[in-house]
A and B are shown apart, each in its own frame.
Chain A
């Protein structure tokens, strides 16, 4: 019973991480580093709240979040793929832009610099059989939790079992080889980054729909945790999702231990420390796609 509730809490926490981390995997497998996750998520959360606020429907909110997420990712792709600007700087710029623009929107729409009005969440489904099980019934009744579980499988299939996935991985490893085959590196990289935007935007929608509102800086570094999880998961959607579940469990434990004598703040640092150990090669070797972070310039021959 306690174990089930704990598991459900860990999954709930890891849902936005997993969505964003899978997005980052798609972007980086195509060769574009996506530090912009944090900003895309934040903008997506605001998108959800605005959509739900003006329409009264959570589903419209989700649609708006997807749209806003894709728009932010498009900016990142435009700067890094089309203009071949530095990907890390662009990502940080997008994050600053999202932080400022969402605050500006809060002031303009809700006349508050800290939070929005309360908006509707998403409907909760009552699944037969499961509804009575403590923890699991609530958990699996949430449409976005179910969608995330399905997406882990779908994104994995897309990356490793589809033509687009093969081409995406080729542009991330050897863009010049992909170009030689007549593929457009620009288009394929745009595709990876835009899919990343959709997933990170959905992550923002989940956060906002659970909280029924937007608060200033509400992602609170989750985009960076997702990025870390993607690295620990070795640029694989399933690996990334598993790392997210681990990070989610650490966070759920930390919430349980809050107020006790146990230094829960140090548990909070655990995901970051694990990531550093993985990067240093202490826990298996994490190897990024060969052309990750390198702009493709066809004139550079």
Chain B
């Protein structure tokens, strides 16, 4: 058992901390700061900051140096994830591009694609969206019907994507499109890399139940994409998508643990402030969720160990997602228990409850996106436990 990081990893932590303390403005740590900005202002600020961070060498931590990464260890990536949360660094403007598209392009992209996509993505010069879900294809992704028809050197794309993160800010979208007319299920699909700045693409925000608009819809109306802008082979897009999603498997949950632990402490502080910490039922509920949070921390050390040992975690990623997302949701249900009749108030005594409620509402979404809890349970039952389909 060795729960420490190497000297080189700790040195990396010191460098990163020092950069973050000099480059995260104090104002950003003020509760409610980000909520006080418009969506446009917030995105622009985060985009510039993320570019500066990349230019300082604190991006692509585990990427090979040939792609502009740092060539760091899995331990450095874990440290990076933790320190970003502890420093109150803003959320990434390119989460899906960085986590999923980039490693896929490194693995199977053409030389031209590697050159064009990876550097600008790392520096947030190009914001990438993911075009997978459709109104008729949510958990059942293979039911997608957006179609692309070959026309000379281009594909002409028609259809609609939905739940698209950063849709209104996107520059490009990696999109699953049915390129063989009449093909069924997993066959005849290609992953097209579509420029969103063209008349045939219309991105609209979706207002969520929280009031925020992290997601949107993307409509394709005779959008054009050069036939060379296919990631992987034409009609082999399902395989490309599965490869792309496999890069989630190394995710340990340490970033989620760090964030949720702080939220636990905040909720505990509210409980103390309201005298609710003396209620035995509230104490029991908080302790139950803290137990699950500690398990998440240990699980993240387990995942990191497996990654460092070079093992493929396979479908164990479903257990990781279930543990963090269900625990996060439980945590914010406890918040409601703590607040009791005040659960929907925007303020109480001298407490500003808006940032807390933003998280409480957001917690309803995490068991849906990225593979719903029900899908993750199917995967766990069939692929891990071996129960019949």
Answer whether A and B are interacting partners: no
B residues neighboring A (CB under 8 Å):
none
A residues neighboring B (CB under 8 Å):
none
